[in-house]
Amino acid sequence: MKASHKKGVLALGIMSGTSADGIDVALVRISGRGAKLQNFAAIPFSARVREAILRLGEGRAVTTGEISQLNFLLGKTFGEAALAALRKFRVSPARIEVIGSHGQTIFHQGIPARFCGERIASTLQIGEPSVIAGLTGITTVGDFRPADMAAGGQGAPLVPFVDLLMYRSGRVGRAALNIGGIANITAIPAGAEIGDVFAFDTGPGNMVMDALVRRFTGGRKTFDRDAEMARHGTLLPGLLDHLLRDPFLRKTPPKTAGREQYGEKFVRALLGRREARGAKAEDLVRTATIFTALSILDAVHRFVSPRARISELIVSGGGARNPLLMAQLESGLQGVRLRDSGEFGVPGDAKEAFAFAVLGYQTLHRRPANVPGATGAKAAVVLGKVCYAG
């Protein structure tokens, strides 16, 4: 990856994940030596915007007009977040070469399914990049996933390209685990080239735990800070056994997941189980936490270990701050050292926004940035659509 000149250029990455907690903005300097995080800001959504996102993401009844309006509203919201972050960073928009905006995923069907008599895969991220470009005056790249899907891939995960840049070692085999709403893992064998890297979604990250916490606290809490609820609960073995029979966990990679698999419908089914009826909130949150940990461990043992020798697991995302979840992972990965992504210069909260700054830069310079071993694509392709400011 080469930058335009020796000192490098500045790029901005914007990310809003499946949890729809808010907007992450990363300022990244990209040069011939690689990419370096310069600053980071997290800007929350308003309650009304977040509710609108979740309503669409859960597949509830909406009109095409609402989708169109939210697409442009989120473009405006992302653009304003970029400008607010730059003011905080004391950096002029004129100094930014490109914004890479992931957009807000409201639907993702990575594997073809029957539709109108044909088998179709599709994905939809909203947050109109033309609006971002117009508002900020900065060339903006968005809509990253469709190009990979057009090449036969599942459109996700896309961060493995950046995982390889950040974590590759000539001596140590590593895996990068991001525990956001959904958990995903990238395996990077020692001395890996891009063709050696493989990645996939392991299943739920924080999504199920967070949904239970919001439900049981009436929305007063949005996640289980320091595993406070889970630590005071008792595991429900029968319910855990049922959850671990989820077919997605046994599905061979490449594979992706989202709210379609682990959103409101999944949580309603969980709460409807006989083993869950009458259980305390703390018991259910604890069981969901252990389920998340065991689903990740199962993915490592079932799909990663047979293909790559891994000595270090680099963890990022909100789940990295859940002590019960991390303790379960550590106990289930004997001989593997757990490390925080912050040790490599990019804190876990900033990692995905950082990645899309890099991916946006790659697209602007017409360079492929998908990893076929992660998405299943037939070839490496240039991702995204470029929207010029003027």
* pLDDT band for position 219 (cuts 50, 70, 90): confident
What separation, in Å, do the N-terminal and C-terminal C-alpha atoms of the chain show? 27
Q: What is the pLDDT of residue 2?
A: 47
Q: What is the pLDDT of residue 5?
A: 53
- Between 2.60.120.560, 3.10.20.30, 3.30.420.40, 1.10.287.3510, what CATH number should domain 160-344 receive? 3.30.420.40
- Burial readout 362-378 (b: 16 or more C-beta within 10 A, e: otherwise): bbbbeebbbbbbbbbbe
Contact partners, residue 294, CB within 8 Å, separation at least 6: 240, 244, 328, 332
Asked if 137 and 289 touch (Cβ cutoff 8 Å), the reply is: no
Structure tokens at 273: 């189980």
* CA-wise closest residue to 230 among 325, 326, 331, 330: 325
Asked if 329 and 292 touch (Cβ cutoff 8 Å), the reply is: no
Taking the model in full, what pTM does it have? Answer: 0.90
Helix/strand/coil (H/E/C) assignment for every residue in 133-167: HHHHCCCEEECCHHHHHHCCCCCCCCCHHHHHHHH
For 125-167, what is each residue's pLDDT tens digit? Answer: 999 999 999 999 999 999 999 999 999 999 999 999 999 999 9
Radius of gyration of the chain (CA): 20
Question: What is the mean predicted confidence (pLDDT) over 182-195?
Answer: 96
The beta strand positions in the chain, using DSSP E, are 9-15, 22-31, 34-44, 96-101, 104-115, 118-126, 140-142, 174-179, 182-188, 198-204, 312-316, 337-340, 385-387
* CA-wise closest residue to 227 among 290, 310, 302, 155: 290
CA distance 209 to 206: 5
CA distance 347 to 345: 7
List phi, psi (to 5°) of 103: 80, 175
Contact partners, residue 104, CB within 8 Å, separation at least 6: 16, 20, 53, 57, 74, 125, 126, 127
Burial class (CB in 10 A: 0-12, 13-18, 19+), 141: buried
Burial class (CB in 10 A: 0-12, 13-18, 19+), 163: buried
Q: Do domains 9-156+348-387 and 160-344 have the same CATH topology?
A: yes
Q: Parse the chain into domains and list their residue ranges.
A: 9-156+348-387, 160-344
CA distance 332 to 53: 35
For 45-80, what is each residue's pLDDT tens digit? Answer: 998 998 888 888 777 788 999 999 999 999 999 999
Structure tokens at 61: 């009844």
For 323-348, what is each residue's pLDDT tens digit? Answer: 999 999 999 999 999 999 999 999 98
Fold annotation for 9-156+348-387? Nucleotidyltransferase; domain 5 (3.30.420)
Q: What is the pLDDT of residue 1?
A: 60
- Residue 6: pLDDT over 70: no
Q: Which helix (H) or strand (E) holds 304?
A: none
26: helix, strand or coil: strand
